[in-house]
Amino acid sequence: MIYPRSTVEVDGTTYLLVQDAAGKHLGIRGDALRFEGEVREDGLFLGPLSPANAAALRDRVDWLQPEPLGLKESVGCGDRLGLATPGHIRAVRAAGGIAPILAQQSMRENARTGRSPQRVMDEAMWGVFQEGWREPWGADADHLKTTADIDVCVAASYTFFTIEPGDHVDSEVDGSRQGEGDWLQAKLELLPWRDLEDDPARLRARYLGRRFEVEGFVLEFGPESLLRAAVKYGRAIWHTVRMYRHLAAAKGGRSFELEVSVDETATPTTPEEHLFIASELARLGVQWVSLAPRYVGRFEKGVDYIGDLREFETQLAKHAAIARVMGPYKLSLHSGSDKFSIYPLVAREARELVHLKTAGTSYLEALRAIAGVNPALFRRSLAFALQCYERDRATYHLSGELARVPAPERLADSELGRVLDLFDGRQVLHATFGSVLERFGGLLRAELEAHEEAYYAALEAHFARHLAPFTH
């Protein structure tokens, strides 16, 4: 079978994706120099979907290379199995007007899935090839914390780099009481002022006594609110600057995009703190395309927004105004999948300056497809997830409870997929993806490859709900 959208002719050579009983292969009619494989009797060259063939094909077909997306409204599509890209592309193609980031995985997720940044890139690229997606697409090296991680992702030609300085955010200051100025002042003095190219006196001169007009809002700092902002985010700003400068040097003049993420912290980012972060990063020469504050409420994995929608909208309006005035740059929604109640609010306030980041929801849709085509395998996966949840939830902020997830042996085959419609069921299955893939990954992949259209259909339907509020 030939995937019809994959066929492309470049400089007299035709490339296409072929599937037979042994799996998928790269087909070439014409110049196959530098490719791994062999020529069949009918003259078609067939090669494996290997790293070497992926690299050679990228060199010849321009649209198989990721590129920066700029300020265009965008969606990040994490894929923990390496099989979801065709489904993602179908959803984006149907929605229209939204740019996709199709290779996206954090180092933490790579460790749990046994994948490398290069493998994530290559598997996304084969999906792009299969679907014939010729519009710009991006590749996100997600939640980077070290310069060594940057180097690995630069070598794999990622174009979008998400810096995660959350370990350097001092959320302890938000638990301090009014009037504890001496304690905060002591913390202020210990900031890395030389690296920040600053000192406390100049900091105060820049912010105190000023009114920052941001569209219809006025933001001001008092001595204590400035002290708290500087102590809370000072080291995170320094870490981001250090990572950005390393990234720029590693890229050696090649274009890239930066996202700054302070969402994985204990306390929300106030509008004043957002303004402070943006001002200080700009002062230190950082250029970024999107920023993810820690919004009010809870953005738990795999489920809808938890919190006061009115308060969220009020705060979001200020964050969006800051992003337009201080950039412009996009507001990024991390753990953004399945937050259906806030998408209309974000679309209205951000006005297309938005990046929606999803990841685990595509894995959950893979399990939904499995429940339909191999109920026994889904039942085994769910039973194992229930065993692993209490351990695996440690690295997440989750509310899901085991007691509220039905035992798989009590469910009929036709009822299994409904577990993925339950708050607690989604969180149990989401948090345990690493353990489940370690135990059942080969079986799950084989089933999804054998029933790929069922998986693509589940993804397209699910992402249609995500993208609909953002289409204009």
By annotation, the residues acting in catalysis are 142, 259
Determine contact, residues 151/250, Cβ cutoff 8 Å.
yes
Residue among 142, 110, 103, 143 at smallest CA distance from 437: 110
What is the gyration radius of the CA atoms in the chain, in angstroms?
24
CA–CA separation, 318 and 214 (whole Å): 8
- Over the range 25-44, which residues count as b (16 or more CB within 10 Å of their CB) and which as e? bbbbbeebeebebeeeeeeb
CA–CA separation, 419 and 448 (whole Å): 19
DSSP per-residue letters across 313-328: HHHHHHHHHHHHHH--
Residue 8, strand partner residues: 15
Determine contact, residues 136/69, Cβ cutoff 8 Å.
yes
DSSP per-residue letters across 374-436: -HHHHHHHHHHHHHHHHHHGGGS-----GGGSPPGGGS-GGGGGGGGGSHHHHHHHHHTHHHH
| The two structure tokens encoding residue 36 | 């791994």
DSSP per-residue letters across 22-45: TEEEEEEES--TT--SEE-TTS-E
